[in-house]
Copies of this chain bind each other. A is one copy, B any other.
Amino acid sequence: MNLADVARRAGVSSATASRALSHHPHVAAATRERVWRAARELEYVASPDATGLARGTTGRVAVVVPHLARWWFGAALEGLSGALRAAGLDLLLYRLGDSVDRQTFFDELPARRRADAVVLLGFGVDERERERLDRIGVGIVAAGTRVGSHPSVSIDEYAAGRQAMDHLLHLGHRRIGMIVAADPEFDLAQPAGRSGAYRTALADAGIRPDPDLTATVTWSPECGARAMSELLGLADPPTAVYAHSDEIALGALRTLRRAGYRVPEDVSVIGIDDHPLAAITDLSTVAQPAAEQGELAARLVLAGLAGEPVEPLVTVPTRLVIRGTSGRPPGRGAS
């Protein structure tokens, strides 16, 4: 069961056994083979605790997420876990459900000494938290957002927003609503870029933004539905709606259909994400590769661990996906 047992069975010292098993040079081929055979016969597995103690490294990386049930997080985590597993690293998952969890996490830093690196998945941290985080003493990588000057991988939020907005503008829409997806507990950092795109896109098209056309809600389909109701209640409702996420957009869609509006004949809708349900709902959107972002984050971690230089800011491309919920505004007929 232990290294000593393997060594005994192979007739060598535990030092040699250790070297043989971890592919060190300077071990005779025959010896190496004997040790490996003994290990196999005994079904030997090294104790990671002992290894960690001796080597000063844990073989684990901590991943911190605010949510798990939302599509983006699950998908990103899939990419991340796959790449880490391939590299033989274990994944320690910390979910910070609410501000209490969050507070204690940054106060106590439970991940300390338990991982060789930390990945922040999809949420921003404030100044104080970043300062705490630095005390954790290991490399930090962010995915889906930028965190200070740490290496990070994400989409260009602004560009993604522009793709959505420009699409609506090209279709001829002038009165465009926006549903902002914010999170009361977690600064997702995405809203800024996505909202900025809204404003500048309008400005570039020579349209003065109407503050009434912006609704801010928390991240859930129900809220998207409510926000849409608000927008429809305006004296002069929008002919198109740009939602910060597909989940929100789907909620908005529901409200529109319920209220008897035709989509896209009366109102166009576009989201961001390319959620799996967007395809079957025929929702126009801006696709972002979630799993790939997770995977790239893992690569940054690996590079950092290997002491290689790491690309500080990786940006993955987004892609406009035009489906059935976006069309020309009413009263303009198809070309």
Binding site for B on A (CB under 8 A): 43, 45-50, 52-53, 58, 60, 63, 67-71, 73-75, 77-78, 81-82, 85, 90-95, 97, 101, 109-110, 112-114, 135, 220-222, 224-225, 247, 250-251, 254, 276-277, 279-282, 290-291
Asked whether, in the complex, the Cβ of B85 is within 8 Å of the Cβ of A75, the reply is no
Chain B min CB distance to A82 (Å): 6
Residues from chain B with Cβ under 8 Å of A69 in the complex: 71, 74-75, 78, 276, 290-291
Asked whether, in the complex, the Cβ of A113 is within 8 Å of the Cβ of B48, the reply is yes
Asked whether, in the complex, the Cβ of A90 is within 8 Å of the Cβ of B114, the reply is yes
Asked whether, in the complex, the Cβ of B222 is within 8 Å of the Cβ of A45, the reply is no
Number of copies: 2
Chain B min CB distance to A143 (Å): 14
A92-B91, A101-B85, A221-B280 known; A114 vs B78 contact (CB < 8 Å): no
Which of A90, A92, A94, A247 is packed against the most chain B CB atoms within 10 Å?
A90
Asked whether, in the complex, the Cβ of A94 is within 8 Å of the Cβ of B101, the reply is no
Residues from chain B with Cβ under 8 Å of A94 in the complex: 81, 85, 91
Instruction: Look across to chain B and name the residue whose beta carbon is closest to the beta carbon of A54.
Output: B49
Residues from chain B with Cβ under 8 Å of A114 in the complex: 48, 90
Asked whether, in the complex, the Cβ of A135 is within 8 Å of the Cβ of B73, the reply is no
Asked whether, in the complex, the Cβ of A85 is within 8 Å of the Cβ of B74, the reply is no
Asked whether, in the complex, the Cβ of A280 is within 8 Å of the Cβ of B222, the reply is yes
How far, in angstroms, from A114 to B85 measured CA to CA in the complex?
A: 14
Instruction: Look across to chain B and name the residue whose beta carbon is closest to the beta carbon of A112.
Output: B45
A45-B109, A93-B81, A109-B45 known; A254 vs B225 contact (CB < 8 Å): no
How far, in angstroms, from A97 to B77 measured CA to CA in the complex?
A: 12
Contact among B52, B71, B109 for A49, CB-based, below 8 A? B52
A78-B68, A221-B277 known; A135 vs B43 contact (CB < 8 Å): yes
Chain B min CB distance to A290 (Å): 8
A82-B95, A93-B93, A280-B254 known; A49 vs B53 contact (CB < 8 Å): yes
Instruction: Look across to chain B and name the residue whose beta carbon is closest to the beta carbon of A56.
Output: B49
